[in-house]
């Protein structure tokens, strides 16, 4: 038997599962070199701009893939840097199409029971019956 590398394994990156790999391929990031050239945050933002809903786990997974370590080994300081950079890039995105921009939240206060108008209930007797 020869020890030829499996072609499917050659492109496999650490931390990147099938769904994440599919997202990355769809945004043009097919190799480790493509990923390194784009950088962690830009790769994450490409996936986000494509309409997918990536979580911070993808951000950490990409960083881990580029650093060749498990994503949980990324320091808290580096995670904070990545989150700040991703949040800044997300703030520059245009609002989603066909969805209204989020409006301010308002609070509605209900009147107290004694202040409210008495509504007849199902068990109230009609007033004209004696």
Tell me the C-alpha distance between 13 and 27, whole Å. Answer: 16
In the chain, the number of structural domains is 1
Domain range spanning residue 62?
A: 18-92
29 exposed, middle or buried (CB, 10 Å; 0-12, 13-18, 19+)?
Answer: buried
**Is 87 contained in some domain?**
yes
Q: Does residue 97 belong to any structural domain of this protein? A: no
H helical segments located in the chain: 7-10, 18-26, 32-38, 40-49, 56-67, 76-91
For residue 1, being part of any structural domain is answered with no
- What is the average per-residue pLDDT within 54-83? 96
Asked whether residue 117 is assigned to any structural domain, the reply reads no
pLDDT of residue 107: 73
CB contact at 8 A, 29 and 75: no
Tell whether 51 is covered by a domain.
Answer: yes
Q: Is residue 30 part of a domain?
A: yes
Domain membership of residue 119 (yes or no) is no
pLDDT by residue (tens digit) across 31-58?
Answer: 999 999 999 999 999 999 998 999 999 9
Q: Is residue 26 part of a domain?
A: yes
List the CATH number of the domain containing 31: 1.10.150.20
Entry pTM = 0.66
Distance CA 78, CA 97 (A): 33
Q: Which of the two residues, 102 and 84, has the higher pLDDT score?
A: 84
- CA neighbours closer than 13 Å in the CB half-sphere of residue 33: 1
Instruction: Render the burial of 53-75: b for 16+ CB within 10 Å, e for the rest.
Output: ebeeebbbbbbbbbeeeebeebe
């Amino acid at each position: 038997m020869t020890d030829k590398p499996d072609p499917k394994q050659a492109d496999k990156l650490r931390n990147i599962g099938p769904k994440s790999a599919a997202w990355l391929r769809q945004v043009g990031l097919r190799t480790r070199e493509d990923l390194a050239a784009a950088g962690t945050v830009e790769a994450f933002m490409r996936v986000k701009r494509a309409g997918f809903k990536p979580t911070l786990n993808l951000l950490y997974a990409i960083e881990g893939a580029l650093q060749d370590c498990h994503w949980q080994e990324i320091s808290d300081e580096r995670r904070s840097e990545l989150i700040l950079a991703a949040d800044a890039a997300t703030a520059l995105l245009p609002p989603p199409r066909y969805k209204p921009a989020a409006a301010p939240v308002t609070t509605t206060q209900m009147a107290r029971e004694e202040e409210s108008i008495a509504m007849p209930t199902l068990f109230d007797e009609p007033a004209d019956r004696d």
